[in-house]
Amino acid sequence: MRIKYTNEPLGRLRVVRDFLPPPEDLVFRDEGVKVTIALSKRSVDFFKGEARKHNTQYQRMIRRLLDAYAEHHSRRPATRSTRTRAKTVRVS
């Protein structure tokens, strides 16, 4: 289907405020702590498969899942480094 543009009146217009966060708010990094943990093969295989589907790293998916769980069940808000993401995803 081809769109045909005409010189019709646009009607009543309004300016929409820029609501997007600045780029520095989109890049965040929490302080990391290296740990050694044994996970079930079934769990690791699941995350590896999901990571392939979503073109990401399975370790990152597991880390974000644990962070979301800890934040949800924590009595105090999670502390983050000076660079934080604009919106926090919460697990309900």
Each residue of 46-76: pLDDT tens digit?
999 999 999 999 999 999 899 889 888 887 6
User: What secondary structure, in 3-state letters, does 39-54 show?
Assistant: CCHHHHHHHHHHHHHC
CA distance 54 to 60: 12
- What is the secondary structure of 6-67 as a DSSP string? ------S--PPP--SPPGGGT---PPP--------HHHHHHHHHHHHHTTS-HHHHHHHHHH
pTM listed for this prediction: 0.52
Q: Say what the pLDDT of residue 57 is.
A: 93
Each residue of 10-49: pLDDT tens digit?
888 888 888 877 777 777 677 888 999 999 999 999 999 9
